[in-house]
């Protein structure tokens, strides 16, 4: 059951990240610059801040511990950057 919950959490995490990226693009295209600049800055701050902890990553780590999997530091780093580095090294 915990593995199923972990899978659902990971799917929702992906959806959330895709929607945040799409919203940043849409705000730039559809809103005037005095509206889009602060909103895009806020989205970038939330996305790239090393100070803030993502609640989805914390929840995922909780269920990763329950299923015996190792914890991850960042969702993007674990799912995109690290596999790319491994593929590049080969």
Which position has the token pair 């996305």? 47
Q: What is the pLDDT of residue 29?
A: 95
Judge whether residue 90 has pLDDT over 70: no
pTM to 2 decimal places: 0.75
Q: What is the per-residue pLDDT across 20-77, written as a single tens digit (0 to 9) for each? A: 889 989 999 999 999 999 999 998 888 777 787 888 889 999 999 999 998 888 887 7
> 16-25 burial string, b = 16+ CB within 10 Å, else e?
ebeeeeeebe
Cα–Cα dist 46/44, whole Å: 5
Q: What is the pLDDT of residue 6?
A: 92
Question: Which long-range CB contacts under 8 A does 73-78 form with residues at least 24 apart?
Answer: 75/13, 75/17, 76/17
């Amino acid at each position: 059951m915990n593995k199923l919950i972990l899978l659902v959490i990971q799917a929702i995490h992906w959806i959330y990240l895709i929607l945040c990226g799409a919203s940043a693009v849409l705000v730039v295209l559809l809103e005037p610059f005095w509206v889009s600049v602060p909103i895009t800055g806020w989205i970038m701050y939330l996305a790239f801040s090393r100070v803030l902890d993502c609640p989805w990553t914390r929840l995922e780590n909780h269920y990763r511990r329950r299923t015996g999997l190792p914890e991850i530091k960042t969702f993007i780093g674990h799912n995109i950057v690290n596999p790319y580095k491994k593929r590049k090294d080969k």
